[in-house]
Amino acid sequence: MSDAVAYECLKDDAGGIAVITIDNPPVNAAGHAVRDGLLKAAQRFAGDDTADVAVILGAGRTFIAGADIREFGKPMQPPGLPEVVDFIESVDKPIICAIHGTALGGGLETALACHYRVALNSARVGLPEVHLGLLPGAGGTQRLPRLIGVEAAVDMITSGRHVPAREALELGIVDAVDAGDSPREAGLTFARDLLQGNRHVRRTSTLSEKIDAVRGDTALFEEIRSAVKKKAKGQLSPVMCAEAVLAAVDLPFTEGVKRERELFMELMNSPQRDALIHVFFADREVAKIPELKTASPRALNQAAVIGGGTMGSGITVSMLFAGLPVTMIERDEESAARGRANVEKILDEGVKRGKFDQDHRNRLANELYSCSADIASISPADLVVEAAFEDMAVKQDLFRQIDQHAESGAVLASNTSYLNVNEIASVTGRPQDVLGLHFFSPAHIMKLLEIVVADKTQPDVVATGFALAKRLKKIGVRAGVCDGFIGNRILERYLTLASFMVEDGTSPYDIDKAVVNFGFPMGPNQMGDLAGLDIGMANRKRKKAEGWKGRYAADYMDRISDLGRYGQKTGRGFYIYEDGSRIGKPDPEVLEIIEKVRSEKGIVPKALDETSIMKRYMAAMINESARVVEEGIALRPLDVDITMIYGYGFPRWRGGPLKYADTIGVQSILDDIRSFESENPDFWQPAKLLVDLAERNETFDSLNKKAKS
């Protein structure tokens, strides 16, 4: 046997029960030791005359959470998981799987190959391979539809969702749900029942009723294919997952499994799989920051949010959702009432969408939330978040007042999206307690939280920022102080580039189309319309006042905004939004305005095609991302990737801008930048880090690995 899998045989009045326990912390991933141990344990059970039935279960907090993802991309050491599960199913004495925690991916596939399954009430099961750019590769696409039908299997496998035990029972994935808290007891109880009965072996691969029911239904197949493709938005794995499930209908089991393997290997070798697994680990790595090695978070029992506008109310609601009491502060009673109305509107939407019931909404609105026009009401809070107007003087004035009223030791945060947190902190007598918490709008939905560490911010204040992110179920990314931190700084750069392309002759609508085809949910001009073009204008004015650097190509945007066309909220921006629709139609007047600016400036328009647009767009994004890493604003390349994925809609399956740069090749991006230099020499200067990496023939990911070691 191996250390990862233990075998014991218990004697019961009705027969012998083999207990096979997988113990591979933290999540019992089915790495080589587990596969090898499980196969040997199943073989031993098959030949053990004293054992009549076997129970497979996981030690620790969970059943098997899937294949060991760290082994992907490396040569596979036999036995493979398909071989292991096929052997388990072939044994002619009953094998029961007792599930607790999560049975995911190869974990659920192991369970599906067992003859019976019992799950604890708290357990969840799923095949989340799709999120890793893969499909279930150990028979999951062939066995699951035989148990629950093709449509339910396609839904589960293409969404990767975790199904709770009760639903798993209703669907037919598990045979019983156990109310206790011990998988061992649940498994043994099921085994004893079986020993009293007919000891029948039921092999999932031999079931056919559910798939026979849809054989030959080509209309259904086409419907499934086209719905999955539409939802996948360029991602390969959902499409291939559906293909593999449909193969279960068309092919006998052994052939279906071969087809599954072919599709699995195709995905395993795809850059999308590499990118998505990069994101899986980056999601976890991003929370590992130096401050957490030495400091613990401060207590967080009561928050105050200053400002009840869009940001303030969104931040407040995200805290209420997490059970954190919030006092909202506004400047007068009238504004306080507006702030309350904003919060209640979001809560009411939650009820309408079925997220929670009216009682829960009332508890949040009346027991956890309060609103005041007196800033002294922040005094009980151990976290104060300022979410006022984006203006240094306004913020400094507020921080002077916060400093007067906040409890000593309270964490003081600004939700600024651009401004210098050192300057904000400097007006208080306690800059060590001040940090930036940059929420993204709508703050009760968006997952990203940039945690901005100023020069004097104490490590335990940073740790509190990360603890808050976790409590709010957000992804915290550590950022240094600069104009726009990580995300908005990079955004500003590629928006500037977009304005150059428009002024030089490319239609803003072509740019949006190219960016959407690349995998973003929207293009830069659609995003401007959504955010409000007045915001960009205010930002440009601020920068102009500070002295605009380089070429100014946003005159056409200024003219659109000057007409009061601020985007969706005014029904017109780059696009026209009719009858409150969120889908805009191109506006010929916008094209006229742009044309006029070009001719005034004597520009002979030259339109770029989709490939040329995206080469420039990505080169601008990657170049600034490299600078952000080079200057230490982001700790590692992966921090940039996570920021752009969760805050700016960068397609997850491309791994973030710096993973994408690695995929294309750092040298190739550098070559692009150099080839664009003649178009605009100020703008297209390569980041030093990009040049260094290209010279050393290294990737951005090599920096992630160095930071880890």
142: nearest Cα among 43, 264, 268, 37: 264
Cα 41 to Cα 18: distance, rounded to the nearest angstrom: 9
* One-letter amino acid of 613: I
CB of 266 to ligand 3HC, least distance (A): 14
In this chain, which of 11, 166, 215, 284 binds ligand 3HC, going by CB under 6 A?
284
In this chain, which of 53, 132, 343, 411 binds ligand 3HC, going by CB under 6 A?
132
In this chain, which of 22, 98, 138, 188 binds ligand 3HC, going by CB under 6 A?
138
Q: Which distant-in-sequence residues (6+ apart) come within 8 Å of 37 by Cβ? A: 1, 2, 3, 4, 5, 22
In this chain, which of 11, 70, 202, 582 binds ligand 3HC, going by CB under 6 A?
70
Q: Based on CB atoms, which residue is closest to ligand 3HC, 290 or 665?
A: 290
**CB-CB contact of 648 with 675 (8 Å):** no
Q: Based on CB atoms, which residue is closest to ligand 3HC, 102 or 499?
A: 102
Q: Which distant-in-sequence residues (6+ apart) come within 8 Å of 488 by Cβ? A: 417, 418, 438
CB of 286 to ligand 3HC, least distance (A): 10
In this chain, which of 4, 5, 20, 27 binds ligand 3HC, going by CB under 6 A?
27
* Residues annotated catalytic, as ranges: 109, 129
CB of 486 to ligand 3HC, least distance (A): 21
With binding defined as CB under 6 A, does residue 104 bind ligand 3HC? yes
With binding defined as CB under 6 A, does residue 475 bind ligand 3HC? no
CA 444 to each of CA 302, 350, 485: distance values in angstroms, whole numbers, following the listed order? 18, 11, 21
Tokens of 561: 């905004």
Residues contacting ligand 3HC: total by CB under 6 A = 24
CB of 279 to ligand 3HC, least distance (A): 12
Q: Which distant-in-sequence residues (6+ apart) come within 8 Å of 50 by Cβ? A: 9, 11, 16
Task: Calculate ∠ Cα 611-561-491, nearest 5°.
Answer: 45
In this chain, which of 2, 21, 24, 102 binds ligand 3HC, going by CB under 6 A?
102
Q: Give the chain's end-to-end CA distance (angstroms, integer).
A: 32
CA 630 to each of CA 277, 494, 635: distance values in angstroms, whole numbers, following the listed order? 24, 18, 9
Q: Based on CB atoms, which residue is closest to ligand 3HC, 28 or 561?
A: 28
Q: Based on CB atoms, which residue is closest to ligand 3HC, 128 or 655?
A: 128
With binding defined as CB under 6 A, does residue 26 bind ligand 3HC? yes
Which segment (102-110, 457-465, 477-485, 684-692) binds ligand 3HC by CB under 6 A?
A: 102-110
* Contact track, ligand 3HC, 29-68, x by CB under 6 A: x-----------------------------------xxxx
With binding defined as CB under 6 A, does residue 293 bind ligand 3HC? no
Q: Based on CB atoms, which residue is closest to ligand 3HC, 2 or 342?
A: 2
Helical segments of 233-294, H only: 236-250, 253-268, 271-285, 291-294
Burial 334-350 (b: 16+ CB within 10 A, else e): ebbebbbebbbebbeeb
CB of 385 to ligand 3HC, least distance (A): 26
With binding defined as CB under 6 A, does residue 260 bind ligand 3HC? no
Cα 62 to Cα 107: distance, rounded to the nearest angstrom: 10
With binding defined as CB under 6 A, does residue 16 bind ligand 3HC? no
Contact residues: ligand 3HC, CB under 6 A: 26-27, 29, 65-70, 81, 102, 104-106, 109, 128-129, 132, 134, 136-138, 140, 284
